[in-house]
């Protein structure tokens, strides 16, 4: 009896290791089983955690797709979240469907905040507090690519801040946003179009406002407004996305 429970325990340890965030992103951390015993059926919580990393990947990829101007990809991910992601709430389904039906990138961008907010409200209701591993902030540099990598990093932290909800991630994002710059001299040889200068200023204004945005709903709305600003500038300055 004691031996059996040890086996189950060891197998359970292997399982929890395999179902962590690393494994959900790729098979690299799958280890050989410790005992010959078959793995135990996953307990509910492990199953939910695995499903949640699938939610997380889909939602993170969705906000990247929008920032990068890939509306078709964003719609596809929204469709998956609205129809296949388990578990899902009416709030999540509604938010994902609105993105799926968005006529353009800017509209889709403004709706992403509500999607992240739907994740966050279920987490709050179920007293779940996802832990995010914060990657290293990209180093500063003069090129627009470098500056944009830093904006993307900031946006990802704010996103996690709303999904958690997670104050630490939010404030890492706020700080990065305050430090990030946009030097449009790198984008064009001629003077940049005034609308683009306007969007750069809008983003700076948002960065100044970010530290005072409190609460999940206000942060969700802020995120949507910010991504709308990113997408608006990309709509005029970026070369069209390359087909995959
Ligand atoms: C139906 C409610 C619900 C919805 C909707 C929901 N989650 Fe979760 N989520 C949970 C619960 C419950 C847990 C805690 C699971 C556990 O630790 O057992 C969790 C945990 C997580 C975790 C941490 C997993 C871990 O390994 O600890 C992440 C990441 C996550 N959710 C992301 C998301 C994202 C992104 C969305 C929205 C696209 C989302 N969730 C929507 C209920 C939900
Ligand atoms: C004032 C205009 C402007 C704003 C605002 C802006 N960007 Fe950009 N972004 C650019 C330009 C210009 C490029 C490069 C265009 C190209 O070469 O396709 C770019 C490229 C990018 C790239 C691709 C970088 C690469 O490696 O090629 C990402 C990611 C990105 N932006 C994220 C963001 C995010 C996130 C925000 C909002 C927080 C944002 N951008 C706001 C102008 C802007």
133-192 pLDDT, tens digit per residue, is 999 999 988 888 899 999 999 999 999 999 999 999 999 999 999 998 888 776 666 678
**Among all ligands shown, which has an atom nearest to the Cα of 131?**
1
Longest dimension (CA), the chain: 78
Residues 6+ apart with CB under 8 A from 166: 129, 130, 132, 160
Query: Quick one: pLDDT band at residue 32, thresholds 50, 70, 90?
Result: very low
54-110 pLDDT, tens digit per residue, is 999 999 999 889 988 899 999 999 999 999 998 999 999 999 999 999 999 989 998
Inter-residue contact 11 to 35 (CB < 8 Å): yes
Inter-residue contact 141 to 125 (CB < 8 Å): no
**CB-ligand 1 contact for 52 (6 Å cutoff):** yes
Best residue for ligand 2 mutational test, from 138, 182, 234, 238 (most atoms within 8 Å of Cβ)? 234
């Amino acid at each position: 009896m004691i031996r059996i429970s040890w086996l189950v325990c060891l197998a359970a340890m292997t399982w929890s290791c395999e179902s962590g965030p690393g494994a959900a992103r790729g098979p690299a951390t799958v280890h050989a089983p410790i005992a010959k015993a078959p793995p135990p059926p996953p307990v509910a919580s492990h199953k939910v955690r695995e499903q949640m990393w699938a939610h997380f990947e889909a939602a993170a990829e969705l906000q990247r797709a929008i920032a990068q101007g890939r509306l078709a990809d964003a719609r596809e991910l929204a469709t998956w979240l609205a129809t296949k992601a388990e578990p899902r709430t009416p709030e999540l389904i509604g938010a994902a469907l609105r993105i799926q039906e968005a006529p353009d990138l800017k509209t889709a961008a403004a709706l992403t905040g509500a999607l992240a907010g739907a994740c966050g409200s279920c987490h709050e209701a179920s007293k779940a507090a996802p832990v995010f591993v914060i990657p290293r902030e990209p180093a500063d540099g003069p090129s627009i690519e470098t500056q944009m990598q830093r904006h993307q990093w900031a946006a990802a932290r704010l996103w996690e801040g709303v999904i958690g909800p997670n104050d630490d991630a939010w404030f890492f994002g706020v700080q990065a946003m305050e430090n990030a710059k946009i030097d449009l001299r790198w984008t064009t040889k001629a003077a940049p179009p005034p609308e683009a200068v306007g969007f750069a200023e809008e983003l700076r204004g948002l960065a100044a406002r970010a530290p005072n945005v409190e609460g999940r709903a206000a942060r969700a709305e802020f995120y949507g407004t910010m991504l709308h600003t990113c997408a608006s500038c990309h709509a005029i300055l970026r070369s069209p996305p390359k087909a995959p």
